[in-house]
Amino acid sequence: MVKSSVLGYPRIGENREWKKALEAFWSGKLEESEFQRQLQEIRLNHLRKQQEKGIALIPVNDFSCYDHLLDTATMFGIVPKRFGHKGGVVPLSVYYGIARGTKEAAASEMTKWFNTNYHYIVPELDGASPYLTENKPLIAYREAKEKLGIEGKPVIVGPLTFLKLSKGYSLSETDAWLDRLLPLYVQIFQELAREGVEWVQIDEPILVTKLSEADVRRLKTIYKTFAESAPNLNIMLQTYFESVEHYRDIAALPVKGIGLDFVHGFSGNMSSIKALGFPEDKVLGAGVIDGRGIWKAPLREKLELIEELAEIVSPERLIVQSSCSLLHVPVTAGLETKLESELKEALAFADEKLDELVLLAKAFSRDETGITGELEQSEQAYETFKQSGKRKRSDIQHAVAALSDRHLERSSPFSERHIAQQKRWQLPVFPTTTIGSFPQTVEVRKARQLWRKGEWSHEKYAGFIRQQIDIWIKLQEELGLDVLVHGEFERTDMVEFFGEKLAGFAFTQNGWVQSYGSRCVKPPIIFGDVAFTGEMTVEETKYAQSRTKRPVKGMLTGPITIMNWSFVREDIPREQIAYQLAYALRQEVEALEHAGISMIQVDEPAVREGLPLKENEQAEYLAWAVKAFRMATCTVQDTTQIHTHMCYCEFHDMIDSIKAMDADVISIETSRSHGELIHSFELNTYKQGIGLGVYDIHSPRIPRVEEMTSMIERALHVLDPNLFWINPDCGLKTRGFEETVESLRNMVEATRIARTKQNIQTIK
């Protein structure tokens, strides 16, 4: 019989119990013992659910107190020296210090997990002497077996992926680091084998990216070492997010199983298996259910795929599984009571995907006997939704097609626009600003909740928002910021807010997914053609501008970010979705300009996130991503300054695309990896306005003036002072009031010092 499995399950809980426990512990409301008890309860509930649904191979050690890369690093005693850890098991105070920072030490860098919206903490290897602090996979295995009788499948990040995603060592040190880490992995696996563990899942998603010949050689060394050291342990070498590179070499590795993604890596992986076959001594983990999307699978098509694979790999050597961890989707669609039934019936969140996997395994093994009705019901819901009239608006499709065929550009080059904008605004050197949002306090969230429940009228809620704007306009002026923002108090989320005002979107009540740490987001669902239905941001922005003589930026989320941070339809290309969004946002940009707002920020923090993992597909994606941004912004006058914000990326490999966006000012989230980005500017020139985030907003610590002054000075070694802006590295929505004010006060003081050192008179 074909077995079912998943690669991981969401941590957050049906009602975000995990998030609430973390934040209560951080705020001192939970003692550590009670915190650990609550986490165990959540963890066991997740395992029990998979057990009851009939998943055959249940992952353990996929749960985390924050992040799985951080778990791996601390398991190996890899703790940056600034946190003062003296050895032994890493306590939670140090663990969370690495993730969030402390008063004394800055947090470690955080960046995107491949091409997803999940963020991991980057391990810092510099100066570390790794050792095994505790065998976390073994602890997780024992807990599942003793508490629930589950013969779990321990999950661990593989050594090649771990090294490739770490920092603080040179390429020449890679083999030396492998020599340090391999004995620790071996110890883990030997202890698992002695415990009687049958399968261990070693995640190596790095294998879907471009590898050097040296990396392939290392891969062979790694898995030869594991096979010789723990010969009785069945290793599932797990890949996901794309098709593997070097299939022939990977297929020859001495492992018991290989997991391949047959959703996002379908074409490449299927071609490799058909052309080169699959080893007869190995099990194939066939990732046939999408671990990243939220739509029901066409189960008969999936059965046909499994049958096709079974012609190459005998059924007893097949495991039907998710394409990746279910970490990237909400927990259950069962809690959604307000969605239209047609849409709800087409959804499959984590729990529904468990059902699909079990159903597919049964259908294949029993030749559909007794479950035909379930298959037909799923298929009917899928087909009914596909034919929905809301997904086919000819007016939008024709308008977007006409626009996307044009060459889209501003009326004048940046050099001319910059002169016109400076003449209009008379900004000082090193203008200071923020990225857009200010703290969403309990009071703000409560007001929004009362309004949504109908207990507050629209007029009362709008008045409350104006009060918040008044407070923060005054504060920004008092702090000495040069370009102000209205604060975004009316917005739940930078994507959800716009989706609620556009046609073609739907919203869940409980569709939360983890973004980083306890930060959860509730991505909108783009199910139909996107259309502008009316002004979205003009009222609040215009009001804020009326309260000050300093410029106030209009704040929009860009088309690529809205798309990448939503769950999107699958019946049309993503390029077309991006253009529909851009066309809608273009109308909002024009409305802001018409209302007298002449600085407009169109944020694109997720451009890098959507970059295909395969190099041969990246140029095409970047071309239409740039085109979408320009479609949204190119119609404004020369004196209207277009800003954008991007999260940290390897700047050198996107510099041409970023230039092509033709924004007047770009701000980049870089504070946790400032030095790396400065180095990239030494190799590339950027001749438009730019602000490198001078402090990390993801950490509650208040940065010192000296830290920010140092960052500014480093940046000015490679950037034009006349084009340099100073700002935090991201929005301030998640920060507290006091820390926000103090941090901005220090930022303004650092700017004053930088202006003095440059010996440039501030323009009054």
Alpha carbons 650 and 660: distance in angstroms, whole number = 16
Structure tokens at 263: 């959703």
Token pair 């790794």 is found at 130
Structure tokens at 554: 């209009």
Alpha carbons 485 and 25: distance in angstroms, whole number = 33
Give the chain's radius of gyration (CA, Å): 26
Distance of CA 132 to the CA centre of its chain: 29
Helices (H), 405-457: 414-425, 442-452
Residues forming the annotated binding site for Zn(2+)?
645, 647, 669, 730
Residues forming the annotated binding site for 5-methyltetrahydropteroyltri-L-glutamate?
16-19, 112, 117, 519-520, 565, 609
Structure tokens at 188: 């883990």
Q: Helices 17-26 and 32-53, interaxial angle, to 10°?
A: 170
Contact 432, 477 (CB under 8 A): no
Distances (CA, A) of 32 to 26, 29, 93, 307, 570: 10, 10, 10, 50, 44
Alpha carbons 162 and 600: distance in angstroms, whole number = 40
Distances (CA, A) of 144 to 7, 40, 357: 16, 10, 21
Alpha carbons 339 and 329: distance in angstroms, whole number = 17
Structure tokens at 146: 């003793």
Token pair 């992040």 is found at 67
Alpha carbons 128 and 298: distance in angstroms, whole number = 48
Alpha carbons 258 and 182: distance in angstroms, whole number = 20
Of residues 653, 665, 658, the one with CA closest to residue 691:
665
Residues forming the annotated binding site for L-homocysteine?
435-437, 488, 603
Helices (H), 107-234: 136-148, 159-164, 174-195, 213-229
State the sign of the Cα–Cα–Cα–Cα dihedral 154, 155, 159, 160: positive
Q: Which residues of 503-542 are buried (b: 16+ CB within 10 A; e: fewer)?
A: bbbbbbebbbbbbbbbebbbbbbbbbbbbbeebbbbebbb
Phi, psi of 438 (to 5 degrees): -115, 170
Contact 252, 276 (CB under 8 A): no
Q: Which helix (H) or strand (E) holds 273?
A: helix 266-276
Contact 636, 664 (CB under 8 A): no
Of residues 217, 213, 261, the one with CA closest to residue 237:
261
Alpha carbons 351 and 326: distance in angstroms, whole number = 9
Alpha carbons 461 and 447: distance in angstroms, whole number = 7
Token pair 């707002």 is found at 597
Of residues 514, 587, 595, the one with CA closest to residue 556:
587
Residues forming the annotated binding site?
16-19, 112, 117, 435-437, 488, 519-520, 565, 603, 609, 645, 647, 669, 730
Can you spell out the DSSP letters for 56-78?
SB-EES---SS-HHHHHHHHTT-
Alpha carbons 668 and 653: distance in angstroms, whole number = 15
Alpha carbons 357 and 322: distance in angstroms, whole number = 8
Residues forming the annotated binding site for L-methionine?
435-437, 488, 603
Q: Which residues are catalytic?
A: 698
Of residues 585, 486, 580, 484, the one with CA closest to residue 535:
585
Alpha carbons 30 and 27: distance in angstroms, whole number = 8
